[in-house]
Amino acid sequence: MTAVKTFVLAALCAGLVMASACRAAGAYPDHPVKIIAPFTAGGPTDLVARLLADKLSQSLKQQFYVENHPGAGGNIGMAQAARAAPDGYTILVASSSYTVNPSLYADNPYDPFKDFAPISLAGAAPNILVVHPSLAAKTVKELVALLQANPGKYAIANSGLGTTPQLASELFKLDFKLDQPSVPYAGGAPAIQATVAGQTLIGFANLTPAEPQITGGNLRGIAITALKRSAALPDVPTMLEAGVEGQESETMQGVLVPAGTPPDIVALLNREIAKAMQQADVKEKCAKLGLEIVADTPVEFAGYIKKDVEKWHKVITDAKIPRIQ
């Protein structure tokens, strides 16, 4: 074989390889895509995952389906997603446990910066500070004054170890040097019910289970831990409006894929998720979850993750919350 023929054959082979690679990249997704929700069915993370699965199935003409892998504060499902092939066929929908657990667990099974590629922060639900109506305090400053004058007297309910309402309560106590016990319950609903029943007169909770109790007069909303008021409770001020800085907290719902997933797949998923989150029925369902839609870029979401990991690491350290072994 002459040198010219060899060169031509090599060029043809190279062209075929490149064409094949282009077809493979352009074909995504060419088989079903798994979305891991690291919590039980029916919760906010699962519901967001199913909303996205439905919309992505429609727009990308391929089945996107949800698998629930609950346990260890979400770590079982998140670790499984971290070990998956970086080919776009495994997607993770995670809550704020993604940014909390690296500081809460002694041997966390994933690195939030190295093991995943961010796709988008789909949305986030703010927390809220509530009190029983029998409590005299009607503002944040009145509540702080009451607690400072009565150390150890009033317990503060929250939705469980490692949840953002629990960490929000610890941040509140740290910043105002409050000596009040925190009472973790097995979820937001039990924490709210305990406060409604007067077992604990104060609580930090996610907005969703708190809203009907506030509108029904069973609880008083003192302040939202967000930068803007919630449309669900427009009369409740933000912490900043109440004259208190640095108390912002929320429970996110974010979308990630294993690190090394091709950039074109990351970009495609980001675009489709952004479109999905702006659809009227998705907005309506998210509003019922108390979820403020964000749908940001991968770069913006990466910055959010870094900031959130650092914030909760400081709170967990300063509050001396024991690490889970």
Q: What is the CATH number of the domain that holds 312?
A: 3.40.190.150
Same structural domain, 113 and 140: no
What integer pLDDT is reported at residue 213 of this predicted model? Answer: 95
Token pair listed for 123: 């949305």
Distance CA 88, CA 57 (A): 14
Q: Confidence band (pLDDT; 50, 70, 90) for 188? A: confident
Same structural domain, 82 and 130: no
Token pair listed for 142: 């009145």
Same structural domain, 195 and 46: no
Residue 291 per-residue DSSP state: P
pTM of the predicted protein model? 0.88
pLDDT digits 0-9 by tens, 198-237: 999 999 999 888 999 999 999 999 999 999 998 889 999 9
Q: Considering just the CA atoms, what is the radius of gyration of the chain in Å?
A: 23
What integer pLDDT is reported at residue 186 of this predicted model? Answer: 87
CATH of the domain at 164: 3.40.190.10
pLDDT digits 0-9 by tens, 18-39: 433 344 446 999 999 999 999 9
Same structural domain, 140 and 220: yes
* Residue whose C-alpha is closest to residue 118's, from 307, 275, 280, 317: 307
Owning domain of residue 175? 126-224
What integer pLDDT is reported at residue 3 of this predicted model? Answer: 40
Distance CA 206, CA 146 (A): 23
Same structural domain, 112 and 32: yes
pLDDT mean across residues, the chain: 91
Say what percent of the chain tops pLDDT 90: 84
Same structural domain, 31 and 51: yes
Flag whether 161 is in a domain: yes
CB 21: neighbour CB atoms within 10 A?
A: 10
Same structural domain, 96 and 144: no
At residue 3, the 3 state secondary structure works out as helix
Flag whether 283 is in a domain: yes
Flag whether 18 is in a domain: no
Flag whether 3 is in a domain: no
* Residue whose C-alpha is closest to residue 118's, from 224, 263, 272: 263
* Residue whose C-alpha is closest to residue 110's, from 126, 118, 120, 99: 99
| In contact, 218 and 115? CB cutoff 8 Å | no
Flag whether 6 is in a domain: no
Token pair listed for 139: 């503002």
Same structural domain, 112 and 82: yes
CB 196: neighbour CB atoms within 10 A?
A: 18
The label of the residue with tokens 């079903």 reads: 32
Across 112-116, 124-128, 182-186, the highest mean pLDDT is recorded for 112-116
Same structural domain, 266 and 288: yes
Flag whether 64 is in a domain: yes
Same structural domain, 256 and 294: yes
Q: Encode 62-89: b = buried (16+ Cβ within 10 Å), e = exposed.
A: bebebebbbebbbbbbbbbbbebeebbb
pLDDT exceeds cutoff 70 at 12: no
Distance CA 82, CA 98 (A): 12
Structural domain ending residue among the three candidates 184, 209, 224: 224
Flag whether 258 is in a domain: yes
Flag whether 301 is in a domain: yes
What integer pLDDT is reported at residue 209 of this predicted model? Answer: 87
Overall domain count for the chain: 2
Same structural domain, 72 and 139: no
Say what percent of the chain tops pLDDT 70: 92
Distance CA 171, CA 176 (A): 9
* Residue whose C-alpha is closest to residue 315's, from 96, 6, 69: 96
Same structural domain, 269 and 307: yes
- Across the range 273-282, mean pLDDT stands at 96
